[in-house]
Amino acid sequence: MKALCWQGKTDVRVETVDDPKILNPRDAIVKITRTAICGSDLHLYDGYIPTMEPGDILGHEFMGEVVEVGPEVKNLRSGDRVVVPFTIACGNCYYCKHDLWSLCDNSNPNAWIAEKMYGFSGSGLFGYSHMLGGYAGGQAQYARVPFADVGPIKISSDLRDEQVLFLSDIFPTGYMAAENCDITPGDVIAIWGCGPVGQFAIRSAFLLGAEKVIAIDRFPERLSMARDAGAEILNYSETDDIVEELKWKTGGRGPDACIDAVGMEAHGHGLAAAYDNTKQAMRVSFDRPNVLRQAIQACCKGGVVSIPGVYGGFLDKVPFGASFGKALTMKMGQTHVHRYLQPLLNRIQNGEIDPSFVVTHRMSLEEAPQAYKTFRDKQQHCIKVVLDPWDETKAA
């Protein structure tokens, strides 16, 4: 089959590889009909995530048709149309049973690597480095899905692929980010980053009852998409001091919750950014916490800082004193996708939201190397790329 393989920093290639096989009794094989490129894939592309090896297959947002099931999978059959969550979870450990699926104890074959870094390992993920399982990802024509009796959700309605594909990652991620803000009526939410996760966070915040959402970015098409959702937009490249600007927009109180939907590759300008960039280039620190600093500084007293943005290692110069002094709550982590699959599918089926709004580019898997570059550099007003692994007509 064809698959997109990581071959080094800013080097991804479509290669012909073996078809996946059933390896464990709870596996299933899915023929992928649509797959997407995630913002966190760009951290892999730019070489910031350790334990990647040449040949690793990328991709963790995918859906398709079941073609084979292992002997212990009783709820799925060949032909079922499924969306696959990007976190792999066993369903029977303490964490899965407590609805904390992305913290599964039993789904990372390389847990010892994550334990060395973090003390304990979370769940395995598709296509996201050997530290997080070394699982082959879904930017391919087929994928092997472990614990298929617990993960994939069956789609029996005639919703289009693009309407349900994002249940795999970005819709639950944005939704969990908004849910973590503990929104009560009248709340004002500030969201840094109007990429796909930010876009879903904006819409989810409104679904959860926020009164006002302030969306922060600098790319016109992303701000425009945010405005379409009803958010008030803030272009940070035209603002001297975002913290002051947010105070002004909230009657001097600050936003009730701040969402960092940017993560470790935050842009910035000025001295702080130069400091971060240098340290990251020297690999003295992994992450650039520009947005996190602003979010902490801007947040109102007693508010919540909700962090769906991915961080990998150690941060420097984070205003923890401000966080303590204002008694902030911080909520973060990989999305517990399994928790949200059915509730969000219900919302889509009820017509409350059509997730396909976020797609700007539709390409074939063959064009994926170019797609990564387009997505990373935000060329052609790119916001979200969806790939068709079976489209033979458009070769790179």
Decide: is 133 part of the binding site for another protein (CB under 8 A): yes
The answer to whether 67 touches 78, Cβ cutoff 8 Å, is yes
Q: Which residue has the tokens 């009852």?
A: 209
**Three-state secondary-structure class, residue 214:** strand
Burial string for 199-212 (b: 16+ CB within 10 Å, else e) reads: bbbbbbbbbbebeb
Minimal distance in Å, beta carbon 103 to another protein?
Answer: 14
Give the nearer residue to another protein in terms of CB position, either 17 or 207: 17
Which of residues 9, 10, 46, 55 is near another protein by CB under 8 A?
55
Rounded-to-integer distance, Cα 189 and Cα 295, Å: 11
Tally Cβ neighbours within 10 Å of residue 115: 13
Measured between alpha carbons, how far is 86 from 59 in angstroms, rounded to an integer? 9
Residue pair 168/161 in contact (Cβ under 8 Å)? The answer is no
State in angstroms the smallest separation of the CB of 80 from another protein. 21
63 touches 84 (CB < 8 A): yes
User: 172, 337 in Cβ contact below 8 A?
Assistant: yes
* Cα–Cα nearest to 124, from 154, 98, 148, 90: 90
Say whether residue 135 binds another protein (CB under 8 A): yes
Both structure tokens of 209: 């009852």
Determine the interface stretch with another protein among 4-12, 323-331, 375-383, 385-393 (rule: CB under 8 A): 4-12
Task: State which residue, 93 or 315, has the beta carbon closest to another protein.
Answer: 93
Question: Which of the stretches 49-57, 304-312, 372-380, 388-396 binds another protein when contact is defined by CB under 8 A?
Answer: 49-57
Under the criterion CB under 8 A, does residue 109 sit at the interface with another protein? yes
Site for another protein, residues 112 to 131, rule: CB under 8 A = 112, 124, 130
**Residue numbers 210-239 binding another protein by CB under 8 A:** none
67 binds another protein (CB under 8 A): no
Q: Is 26 in the site for another protein (CB under 8 A)?
A: yes
The per-residue b/e assignment along 151-180, b for 16 or more CB within 10 angstroms, e otherwise, is: bbbebeeebebbbbbbbbbbbbbbbbbbbb
Q: Which range binds another protein by CB under 8 A, 17-25, 281-289, 348-356, 377-385?
A: 17-25
Task: Give bridge partners of residue 306 from the DSSP assignment.
Answer: 259, 331
Report, in Å, the least distance between residue 236 CB and another protein: 38
For another protein, how many residues bind (rule: CB under 8 A)?
A: 48
Both structure tokens of 185: 């009526």
**Region 361-380 residues binding another protein, contact defined as CB under 8 A:** none
Tell me the C-alpha distance between 353 and 332, whole Å.
24
Interaction between residue 31 and another protein (CB under 8 A): no
134 makes contact with another protein (CB under 8 A): yes
347 binds another protein (CB under 8 A): no
**What does the per-residue mask of binding to another protein show for 137-166, with x meaning CB under 8 A?**
---x---x-xx-------------------
**Amino acid making up residue 177:** A
Asked if 41 interacts with another protein (CB under 8 A), we say no
Determine the interface stretch with another protein among 54-62, 300-308, 325-333, 386-394 (rule: CB under 8 A).
54-62
Nearer to another protein by Cβ, of 67 and 322: the residue is 67
Yes or no: say if 19 and 142 are a contact pair by the CB < 8 Å rule: yes
Task: Extract the tokens encoding 249.
Answer: 């927009």
Is 255 a binding residue for another protein by CB under 8 A? The answer is no
Give the 3-state secondary structure of residue 202.
Answer: helix
Q: Which of 136, 177, 178, 305 binds another protein (CB under 8 A)?
A: 136
CA atoms within 13 A on the CB side of 112: 0
Tell me if 91 contacts another protein by CB under 8 A: yes
Binding residues for another protein, rule: CB under 8 A, are 1, 3, 5-7, 13, 15, 17-26, 53-57, 72, 88, 90-94, 97, 105-112, 124, 130, 133-136, 140, 144, 146-147
